[in-house]
Amino acid sequence: MPSVPSTKETAVKGPVCPHAAKLLSHANGEGKLREGSLPLNGVDKVPAAGTEDANGTIQINTKNVAAERKWIRPDLPSRCTWSLGASKDDSPHTQVPRKVTPTLLPNILHRIGDTPLVRINKIPKMFGLKCELLGKCEFFNAGGSVKDRISLRMVEDAERAGLLKPGDTIIEPTSGNTGN
């Protein structure tokens, strides 16, 4: 079983995760290990412990990191241009209008994703809470599971890709609460 390298190591001989090879480089659609040593979490050289550089900021090398692995530092100012009260036309974000659920649905699948919220009144009064407390009624889900949305998505995606046909079975890797 692979182990996670310590911070004292400057490079790793191969990926820690068996799927990391796919993130490093692709050749003909198959994952392939990059030649030579790999940077540790995107850092080419880690300062030795006990040195003055070890207490400073480490510059992460993003040249060899896949686009989805480039992280945005949380201490930097936001680049978002949205502001409260601005027009929807100037907003950089997608704004989907809220749908009103009809009382008569074509089938049970249209109930998925519409789990009702209810206001809890007695607990805030009893404990003097100064906030609105809501409960989500997961037992109202179409399949009786907290994972109805992902179940529907797995089936729709597999059908769209031609991987799932009537009578086929999907085996999902959860703790068993996706439904029966």
| Cα separation, 108 vs 120, whole angstroms | 27
Q: Is the pLDDT of residue 78 over 50?
A: yes
Average pLDDT over residues 102-113: 83
pTM for this one? Answer: 0.37
Q: Which residue has the tokens 């209810």?
A: 118
Top pLDDT among 49 and 29 is at 49
The predicted pLDDT at position 121 comes to: 94
**Residue 11, beta-bridge partner list:** 39
| Cα separation, 14 vs 160, whole angstroms | 36
Catalytic annotation, residues: 147
Q: Is the pLDDT of residue 125 over 90?
A: yes
| Cα separation, 172 vs 19, whole angstroms | 19
Where do the structural domains in the chain lie, given as residue ranges? Answer: 8-73, 99-180
The predicted pLDDT at position 119 comes to: 94
Q: Is the pLDDT of residue 118 over 90?
A: yes
Q: Is the pLDDT of residue 174 over 60?
A: yes
